[in-house]
Amino acid sequence: MPAPEALRRQQFTLAAHIRDPEHAAPPPDIEDRRLQVYRDLFFNSLEGLLAGNFPIIRKILDGGRWHALVRDFYREHRCATPIFPELPREFLQYLQQRGVRAGDPPWLLELAHYEWVELALDLSDAVPPPHDPAGDLLLGRPLLSPLAWPLAYAWPVHHLSPAHQPAEPPPQPTFLLVQRGADHRVRFNELTALSFRLLQRLADAPTLSGREQLLALAAEAGAADTEAFLAQGQAMLEQFRAAGIVPGTATS
């Protein structure tokens, strides 16, 4: 066998063994003590990075369950990127693809997404498109900042902890806003169902004026007094502008 091909096969054998040492045999003629260095180095580096980005999951799952989950990811998932900071997103995608397995907490996927969002927004290079900061929020088209994400969860992800692990989701969903401010800090705030729906509409129907958005929202909510609803909605939009959630009105 040519030397380059032999080296290639040895590398693939070594990689398979490091990923799954229990089921993949190591390359021959390599001392196990040396292999252990690679097994520990790769796994511990991955586990440490994921533990830093998913600290609540790490705390809730006991050491054995957490390490088993990371080991499953390490063995089963094929990452689509070589960029180290993207590994948390790959971990989230892996959890979504594998689905809920026996022994998983029912809120695992939502909590993983909640924890990933902070890193994703922290690394985002999105900037608002052209807009008028002083634009009329009723006559113009209110622009949702790309650095403000309205989120809805069935589980109260922001309250989950080792001491609080509900077995059933509450009757009402949890609505949150995650936003990166001008100081580059990422913050989470709770939203009412109405404010969440308004922000969701701004994202889903950006061609509508603020007045059109609020009229549609009033119809959804079955508001009896449309004018009063419009006044309250305008005040809500102004609050969003003051907080940087709505930086202004679109100009293109």
In the β-sheet with 186-190, what is the strand arrangement from edge to edge?
Answer: 148-153, 174-180, 186-190
Q: Quick check: 231 pLDDT over 70?
A: yes
The pLDDT value given to residue 88: 95
| 154 and 220 belong to one structural domain | yes
Q: Which percentage of the chain shows pLDDT scores above 70? A: 98
Residue 105 has a CB neighbour count (10 Å cut-off) of: 18
| 133 and 118 belong to one structural domain | no
Q: Quick check: 103 pLDDT over 90?
A: no
Structural domain contains residue 11 = no
| 69 and 149 belong to one structural domain | no
Structural domain contains residue 246 = yes
- Which residue range forms the structural domain that includes residue 223? 129-252
Query: For residue 126, what are the CA distances in angstroms to 122, 145, 151, 189?
Result: 10, 9, 18, 20
CATH number of the domain that residue 244 is part of: 3.90.930.50
Q: Quick check: 27 pLDDT over 90?
A: no
The residue with tokens 């993983």 is: 112
The pLDDT value given to residue 2: 58
CATH number of the domain that residue 111 is part of: 1.10.150.690
| 251 and 149 belong to one structural domain | yes
**Nearest by Cα to 235 from 205, 219, 214, 204:** 214
| 166 and 247 belong to one structural domain | yes
Are 136 and 151 contacting, i.e. CB atoms less than 8 angstroms apart? Answer: no
Structural domain contains residue 13 = no
**Integer Cα distance of 94 and 109 in angstroms:** 10
Q: Quick check: 8 pLDDT over 80?
A: no
Query: For residue 116, what are the CA distances in angstroms to 90, 113, 185, 189, 232?
Result: 10, 5, 15, 16, 33
Query: For residue 232, what are the CA distances in angstroms to 173, 200, 201?
Result: 23, 17, 16
**Is 138 or 13 the better-scoring residue by pLDDT?**
138
Structural domain contains residue 114 = yes
Of 21-30, 136-145, 200-209, 237-246, least confident by mean pLDDT is 21-30
Give residue 84's pLDDT band: very low, low, confident or very high (50, 70, 90).
confident
Q: b/e for 108-117, b at 16 or more Cβ within 10 A?
A: bbbbbbbbbb
pTM score, whole prediction = 0.89
- Count of residues in the chain: 252
The pLDDT value given to residue 189: 96
Are 147 and 121 contacting, i.e. CB atoms less than 8 angstroms apart? Answer: yes
Mean pLDDT across the chain: 92
pLDDT, tens digit (0-9, with 9 covering 90-100), for 9-19 = 777 787 777 78
pLDDT, tens digit (0-9, with 9 covering 90-100), for 40-72 = 888 899 999 999 999 999 999 987 899 999 999
Give residue 3's pLDDT band: very low, low, confident or very high (50, 70, 90).
low
Q: Quick check: 34 pLDDT over 60?
A: yes
The pLDDT value given to residue 239: 97
Q: Quick check: 213 pLDDT over 80?
A: yes
| 61 and 174 belong to one structural domain | no
Structural domain contains residue 8 = no
Are 100 and 108 contacting, i.e. CB atoms less than 8 angstroms apart? Answer: yes
Domain boundary residue, one of 90, 123, 156: 123
| 113 and 231 belong to one structural domain | no
